[in-house]
Structure 1
Amino acid sequence: MSQTVRLVCPSGRKHAELWSGYLLAALGAVAIVMDPAHWANITLGLLLVLLGVGLAVHGHLIKAPVLEISDGEFHYRRGAYEVSVPFGDIGSYYLLPGGVRSLGLCDTAGRPKRFPSLRSRRTSRTYLPLTGMTSPAKVESFMAMAGIPPRKRSLAS
């Protein structure tokens, strides 16, 4: 695979914090402008602006998961956590449904691949967490563009 295929998972919490922060900062500015001579409006306005700026900064710090295939490797990044798997070692994939969707990769023999834990725990996991807003159709099209087939869910076959 010579070209890069990339999917950034949308994060609802990030969008909510950003828009809430911007809205609170704007409300604080409006409170100050409405009556700048009264100390209560200035205090309320400054508190709203500070709270809004804090929320917006925290929203910008949230890192969404990124799936990428380039240079013959599959990369998964979420903040400081990064997993790289050679493209030839991936046989298929599967999606785990739920509130927070997850992506599982299988080796060429069909066994789930194991990844180290995200939070430096001693356990390992067989899936990579995505976000709840990630559409299964987008993940399926990403994997199809990368050339990785889905694993059949039937245990009988």
Structure 2
Amino acid sequence: MSETVRLVCPAGRKHVELWAGYALVALGAVAVAVDPSHWANVTLGVLLVLVGAALAVHGHMIKSPVLEVSDGEFRYERGRYIVRVPFHDIGSYHVLPGRIRSLGLCDTAGRPKRFPSLQNRRTSRAYLPLTGMTSPAKVESFMAVAGIPPRKRSLTS
């Protein structure tokens, strides 16, 4: 496959922290603008701006999972954690249901592939965590465009 196919999973916590941070900064500016001569308004405004800025900065630091298929390679990236699998080693996939969805990959024989843990522990896992806002339909359409069949329709199941 010569084209790059990419899916960025939406992170709800990131959106909430960004919107809340920007709202608190605006609320702090309004609190100071209402009556800048009173010390309580200025103190409240400065505190709101500082908390809002900290919340917005923390929201920008949250990394969303990215699925990408390009140049014969499947890549999963979440912050500094990167998993690379040769495209020809993937036989099928399945999306695990739950509050936080996960993507499981199977090899050409139908066995689940194992990946190192996200927290540098000695255990390994058979799935790649996505986010709770990730729609299974979007993952299925991404995998269909990439050319990876679902587990229930794979030839080896």
Q: Calculate the TM-score normalised by the size of structure 2.
A: 0.97
Gaps of 5+ in 2: none
Does the alignment pair 1:103 with 2:103?
yes
Does residue 84 (structure 1) correspond to residue 54 (structure 2)? The answer is no
Return the alpha-carbon distance in structure 1 between the equivalents of residues 58 and 17 of structure 2. Answer: 7
> 1:39-64, CA deviations, whole angstroms, 9 ceiling, x for partnerless residues?
00000000000000000000000000
Shift of 1:82: 0.3
> What do the CA deviations read for 1:94-149 (whole angstroms, capped 9, x no partner)?
01000000000000000000000001111000000000000000000000000000
Deviation at 1:152, TM superposition (A): 1.4
| Secondary structure of the corresponding residue to residue 151 of structure 2 | coil
Q: Which runs of 4+ in 1 moved over 3 A?
A: none
Cα RMSD for the two superposed structures? 0.9
Which amino acid in structure 2 is aligned with residue 148 of structure 1? I
Alignment correspondent of 1:136: 136
Q: Are residues 1:7 and 2:7 paired? A: yes
Tell me, which stretches of 5 or more residues in structure 1 are unaligned?
Answer: none
Q: Distance in 1 between matches of 2:144 and 2:96?
A: 17
CA distance in structure 2 between the aligned counterparts of 1:111 and 1:32, rounded to whole angstroms: 61
When normalised by structure 1's length, the TM-score is 0.97
Would you say 1:47 and 2:47 are equivalent positions?
yes
Q: Report the 3-state secondary structure (helix = DSSP H, G, I; strand = E; otherwise coil) of the residue aligned with 1:122.
A: coil
